[in-house]
Chains A and B, each alone.
Chain A
Amino acid sequence: MAAEAKTDQKVFSPPLQPIISLRGITKRFPGVIALDHIDMDIYPGTIHALLGENGAGKSTLVKILYGIYTPDEGGILINDKPVTITSPMDAMMHGIVMVSQSPQVIDRLTIAENLILSLKKYGYFATLGRISKEIRAVAKEFNVKLDPNTEVWKLSYTQKQIVEFIRAMLLGAKVILIDEALTYLPIEEKKRFYEFIKNFKEKGGTVILITHKIYEALEAADMITVLRRGKNVGTLTRQEADIDKVRRLMFGERSKEITYERLPPGNPSGELLEIKDLWVRGDFGEYAVQGVSLKVRRGEVFAIAGVAGNGQKELIQAVVRIRPYDRGKIVLEGVDLKDKSTYYLRVNGVGYIPDLPARYGVSIENTIIENIAVLPTYARGLINWEKIRSLALKLIKEFEIKTPSPDTPVKFLSGGNIMKVLVARELNTATKLLVAYNPTRALDEATAIKVRKIIKEKVRSQGVGALIASEDLDEIFQIADRIAVMNSGRIVGVFEAEKAKREEVEKLMVM
């Protein structure tokens, strides 16, 4: 086991026997090597972060551990014994449970009903009463409040993730795989989760934390392994790791481009978009947006900060006319949008980057060029595929999208590259206005910063106006010309970005 020698054990000394060892794992997909002879050791009682930029192979590796893919070469040892894991069931039998980005729960059922369903399948017989008791016990142990008889649709995203963790506990998980499941949580809730998993660790559990966010790894992990282009480029203990070291491993040369300096300000000119006293209902009929008024000028980035679930999503969806609004006005260049459709906006130079790209922004079964041609901006009536293909090639180059060809179905790209396809298409569409919700959330640091630079450059040089809602304050402070804070459906403060203070913005967000 020569690979062990890589880890420095001066300060933090893990037990000598790894619980999981990966040996020479290789996985090829049509046209790419996703994983190239990966060796890795994971020790019990540690939180081990697996870091890497978009398309580095993190998800592939986790899917192999969880039996969704099988490796082309190499294998897995658990407690030094070779094992064959070809399905999630096998993985669970070895005590490995995954918590994924999208919670696997049925909305109509209660928490207890959901858990009884998924647990019985693995030979775990229990009555609803008993399982409720066990849920309460686990919840108490981990210091969270959760009523097992709540229907799942009433839960927030975070609470659903907690349900997933509880399920993992009840399944007797020894190793929990967290695949970007924390990446999208608001900071406060994320911190609670860190406690949750640290608690699990102290009880002897092991966590593999997959993320493209460095700070997440630095905050929570004991060990950090960095993947780059399918190779393990280094494993560090938390004590050895610092942000620059990790960035260099993750991005190589590109790490120099990473900066959180404020981007050069825009050139605001005339008024582009005006929202007046807007009231929009959320998914359950409640008013998610309550009388929002704001103005976006040409040549500026107007950013909306806020904790997830304070009406930003509904506001953004109302602006692009995919969600109806009850009261108020949205005016684009003097035209009232009340009777205008999304189509009108699209053919008039409005770009839209939705949250959850795979769900709202792209069709993964279709090819890259088809995903571009679907916008009426690029094709109406007949499709000139040559034109679309050359645009696609240009965007692939500009955004460094990793794909064998523009005719590749989007499902063969990594999550980050899928997001790049979407962002590239929408930025190219936005000749007047860009409307976005968390535009860089699925992107790694270097790419996210690059996208922000491209957005800002477009705003500055072409006089495009941008309305961007984001839960990431780093992003907001880097890109915005003006910052509005949204809380409980209202705008509770607007700042000039130059003069805005982070503490003030944060205070208004959680007020």
Chain B
Amino acid sequence: MEFPISMLIVRRVKPLPYWVVPVLALAIGILVAIIILYGISGGQISPWDVLVSIGQGFLQPHLLAMTFILLSIVGVGLLVSFKGAIWNIGGEGQIYMGAMITVWVVLFSPIAMMPGLLGAFTMKITYLILAVILGGFWAFLSALPRAFLNLDEVPITLMMNYIAYYIVDILVRGPWHERKYGYLRTPTIPENSWFRTMVIRSNGHIFATTLSIELLIILIVVFIVAWFLLKYTTIGLYIKVLGNNPNLLRSSGINVKLIILLALTISGAIIGIVGAGYVAGITHNLSYPVEEKSAQYGYTGILVAWLSMLELIAVPVAAYIIAALYNAGINMQILGAGGAAVVNVFIGSILITYTALIMISEYKVRFIIKRRRG
């Protein structure tokens, strides 16, 4: 006997609106995470607690501001190279190069420890510029074999992360090692070089936030620069065409190698800023071993870029969602439900659901009921 219903997978003529997949991925991903957490905790972590934590996570912008800003910058940076189908997995390395140079500027360079407001300004401008240059340089190194030897950039950018980690490790264990207490870390950077977070005082109450106005301004500047680059410059257009048909660039007389170098370098330069923000805004030092201490924004940023479906305007939205889930993870730790790995459960579930669902943006599933023909 023939089964009366058959399932068909059909190619879509018109792709789905681009927000459908990310929204579904989030919903299903969170559901999957809840089931996993419920299962592995033997019912200890109740779905309700998870939902409440997530709800709170979303409603605490003052707590997730820092993560949101840094992830947004990484997302924008990655988007620039992803638009050109150049898959920069090296965000971590680019971040740590930015972080490394920031520590050098404020602790060991000729302008280190400059006192006062003027000193703070000089140091900040210097390490931001150098973080951009170093992040860009680190990505540029990966871009060279991609452009000239046509080697896949994914493993190269990935491996460069470890080289960056170990360079920082060597510095932290060696010449930059703080001698006062003997921990494997650098000295704390001077307070006037920090990105200070806002404290709100009202009715005698004091609210701590993680919002740094300076970093917010940096995000806005980065966003506008990337928007302008992609929308109004030929380099931006060439990067977009590179992702679709490099042959057209060739027959138009555009140097394809140069565009590959630019796409990755610009991407790395933007992400380098996050290294400065990370040290000056959150950790205030670097400690050993980097690989374990890293907040891994370079990897989480990939999720942000993908959830944005490579639409610049959606990057902050995606970053806010991921930052909220980070925050939810912290809330759950406060509740005593699970450790730091909870965040990874969320992010992993969403990423894998997203990967599965991306198929439906191009294909649709149809059910056909077979009628008997007489």
Contact = CB atoms under 8 A, between A and B. Distances in A.
Given A86-B366, A360-B247, A362-B245, A383 B252 contact: no
A376 B233 CA distance: 12
B232 interface: yes
Contacts of B366: 86
Interface stretch (B6-14, B50-58, B128-136): B6-14
B253 A346 contact: yes
A161 interface: no
A354 B366 CA distance: 40
A7 interface: no
Interface stretch (B63-71, B171-179, B234-242): B234-242
Given A343-B255, A376-B254, A359 B233 contact: no
A95 B373 CA distance: 21
B368 interface: yes
Contacts of B373: 81-82
A87 B252 contact: no
A375 B238 CA distance: 10
A374 B13 contact: no
A391 interface: no
A68 B363 CA distance: 11
A382 B234 contact: yes
B203 interface: no
A374 B250 contact: no
Nearest to A345: B253
B241 A379 contact: no
Given A68-B11, A87-B10, A347-B253, A379 B237 contact: yes
Given A374-B238, A374-B254, A84 B368 contact: yes
A363 B241 contact: yes
Nearest to A362: B248
Contact of B234 (A84, A363, A381): A381
A361 B248 contact: yes
Contacts of B254: 343, 374, 376
Interface string A360-385: 11111110001101111001111101
* Most chain A CB atoms below 10 A, which of B244, B247, B248, B255: B248
A370 B10 CA distance: 30
A344 B255 CA distance: 11
B240 A370 contact: yes
Contacts of B233: 381-383
B134 to A, nearest CB: 26
Contacts of A347: 253
Given A87-B8, A374-B241, A361 B14 contact: no
Contacts of A382: 232-234
B249 A374 contact: yes
Interface in A330-370: 341-347, 352, 354, 359-366, 370
B250 A371 contact: no
Interface size class of A (residues with CB under 8 A): 35 or more
B237 A364 contact: no
A470 to B, nearest CB: 18
Nearest to A425: B252
A29 interface: yes
A370 B237 contact: yes
B237 A383 contact: yes
Nearest to A360: B247
A363 B245 contact: yes
A30 interface: yes
Contact of A374 (B243, B252, B368): B252
B84 to A, nearest CB: 12
B251 interface: yes
Contacts of A69: 11, 13
A383 B9 CA distance: 41
A342 B241 contact: no
B253 A373 contact: no
Contact of B244 (A70, A341, A364, A383): A364
A301 interface: no
B8 A366 contact: no
A363 B248 contact: yes
A86 B252 contact: no
A132 B142 CA distance: 46
B362 to A, nearest CB: 13
A352 B255 CA distance: 17
Contact of A365 (B237, B244, B253): B244
A322 interface: yes
B175 to A, nearest CB: 43
Contacts of B248: 360-363, 371, 374
A84 B247 CA distance: 38
B250 A342 contact: yes
B244 A363 contact: yes
A376 B245 contact: no
A345 B250 CA distance: 12
A433 to B, nearest CB: 14
Nearest to A347: B253
Contacts of B234: 373-374, 376, 379-383
A322 B252 CA distance: 10
Contacts of B247: 359-360
Contacts of A223: none
B252 A376 contact: yes
A87 B8 CA distance: 9
Interface in A280-332: 320, 322
Given A69-B13, A374-B237, A382-B232, A346 B252 contact: yes
Contacts of A375: 252-253
A382 B235 CA distance: 9
Nearest to B8: A86
A182 to B, nearest CB: 25
A377 B129 CA distance: 34
B253 A370 contact: no
A366 B232 contact: no
A84 to B, nearest CB: 6
Contacts of A82: 373
Nearest to B240: A366
Contact of B253 (A81, A344, A364): A344
A366 B252 CA distance: 15
Given A81-B373, A382-B234, A342 B251 contact: yes
Nearest to A30: B14
Contacts of A359: 245, 247
B244 A352 contact: no
A374 B8 CA distance: 40
A366 B13 contact: no
A352 B251 contact: yes
B14 A342 contact: no
Contacts of A365: 243-245
Interface string B246-274: 01111111110000000000000000000
A357 B99 CA distance: 47
Interface string A250-268: 0000000000000000000
Interface in B177-203: none
Given A84-B368, A380-B234, A381-B234, A361 B251 contact: yes
B261 to A, nearest CB: 16
Given A69-B13, A87-B9, 5 more contacts: A68-B11, A342-B253, A362-B248, A376-B234, A385-B232
Interface of B: 8-11, 13-14, 232-234, 237-238, 240-241, 243-245, 247-255, 366, 368, 373
- Can you list the 7 inter-chain pairs with the closest CB atoms, starting with the nearest? A343-B253, A342-B253, A346-B253, A363-B245, A365-B244, A363-B244, A363-B248
Interface of A: 29-30, 68-70, 81-82, 84, 86-87, 320, 322, 341-347, 352, 354, 359-366, 370-371, 373-376, 379-383, 385
20 contacts: A29-B13, A86-B8, A87-B9, A322-B250, A341-B255, A342-B250, A343-B253, A343-B254, A346-B253, A363-B241, A365-B244, A366-B240, A366-B241, A370-B237, A376-B234, A376-B253, A376-B254, A379-B234, A380-B234, A381-B234
